[in-house]
């Protein structure tokens, strides 16, 4: 303790004592601002997602929280530099030079920020939607300023730079409430094709989960041993996989009940 008192006395009596005091005060202000910024980020995310809060859209919520967080950090940095004795004009000059140098150094990062803002405000994708690009596929968890977080169909977390999504073709499977389903069936050529078409059309039109508008069956092609029929209908997109399986099964059962024969199985090549 005596050594600490001696060091304190030396520093206090030094001509640099005010500068050292200002530096420590500025450091304390910046650390406090950093802590408050992290706390504000969590509070904003929680309040905007609460039923009793402001109820912001899931897509906008991370952006609002990040803006609040970095606004507090920049304000704390400005206050800290001002306490350290750096004037407002000098601060603006420092921030301008630092911003220019940073922009030149991280052009790729800034392109991700620009792409993230475009994705958020143009709303080509939203949180909770299932998307597919040439490089990634899955459900959107969050659209940040730098990366988009995606959960793949097999439950893997994927973080993709925003620029890679913005620059590519994006298929959004969740945007519309209904999706078209095309089912191709083959029957033997010696069947009554007209009857098969009527059976499929009736099965589609009477199915409870098939939209009445747009259900149709046509002949899509021929092979030497079969006729290719195509059944087209519209289903709700929220449970498409199970609904498609149910419709396929009903069409198969309808053809089987009417005695429609399937094409003959090609003979196996002779073994030597």
User: What proportion of the chain, given as a percentage, has pLDDT over 90?
Assistant: 22
Average pLDDT of the residues in 200-223: 87
Q: Which residue has the higher pLDDT, 5 or 156?
A: 156
- The CATH code of the domain that includes 160 is 2.30.30.60
Q: How many CA atoms lie within 13 A of 271 on its CB side?
A: 0
Is residue 265 assigned to a domain? no
Least confident of 88-102, 111-125, 190-204: 88-102
Within 10 angstroms of residue 16's Cβ, the number of other Cβ atoms is 9
Residue 9 scores a pLDDT above 70: no
Q: What percent of the chain has pLDDT over 70?
A: 76
Give me the number of domains the chain comprises: 3
Which one of 1-5, 67-71, 86-90 scores highest in mean pLDDT? 67-71
Query: According to the model, what pLDDT value does residue 152 have?
Result: 92
Mean pLDDT over all residues of the chain? 80
Q: Are 147 and 163 in contact (CB under 8 A)?
A: no
- What whole-number distance in Å separates Cα of residue 135 and Cα of residue 119? 17
Q: Does residue 245 surpass a pLDDT of 90?
A: yes
In a shared domain, residues 143 and 227: no
For residue 201, give its domain range.
178-257
Note whether residue 160 is domain-resident: yes
- Placement of tokens 């998307």 in the chain: 131
CA–CA separation, 161 vs 231, rounded Å? 40
């Amino acid at each position: 303790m005596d050594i600490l008192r001696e060091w304190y006395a030396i520093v206090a009596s030094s001509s640099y004592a005010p500068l050292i005091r200002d530096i420590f005060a500025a450091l304390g202000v910046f650390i406090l601002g950093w802590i408050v910024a992290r706390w504000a980020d969590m509070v904003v995310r929680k309040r905007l997602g609460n039923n009793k809060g402001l109820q912001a859209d899931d897509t906008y919520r991370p952006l609002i929280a990040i803006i609040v967080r970095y606004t507090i950090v920049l304000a704390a940095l400005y206050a800290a530099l001002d306490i350290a004795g750096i004037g407002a004009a000098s601060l603006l000059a420092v921030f301008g030079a630092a911003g220019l140098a940073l922009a030149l150094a991280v052009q790729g990062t800034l392109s991700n920020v620009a792409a993230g803002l475009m994705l958020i405000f143009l709303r080509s994708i939203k949180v909770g939607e299932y998307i597919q690009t040439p490089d990634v596929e899955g459900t959107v968890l969050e659209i940040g300023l730098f990366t988009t977080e995606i959960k793949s169909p097999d439950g893997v977390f994927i973080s993709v730079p925003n620029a890679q999504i913005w620059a590519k073709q994006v298929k959004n499977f969740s945007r519309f409430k209904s999706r078209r389903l095309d089912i191709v069936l083959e029957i033997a050529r010696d069947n009554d094709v007209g009857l098969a078409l009527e059976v499929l059309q009736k099965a589609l039109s009477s199915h409870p989960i098939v939209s009445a508008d747009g259900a149709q069956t046509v002949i899509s092609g021929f092979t030497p041993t079969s006729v290719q029929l195509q059944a087209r209908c519209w289903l709700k997109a929220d449970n498409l996989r199970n609904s498609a399986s149910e419709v396929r099964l009903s069409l198969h059962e309808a053809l089987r009940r009417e005695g429609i024969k399937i094409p003959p199985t090609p003979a196996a090549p002779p073994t030597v």
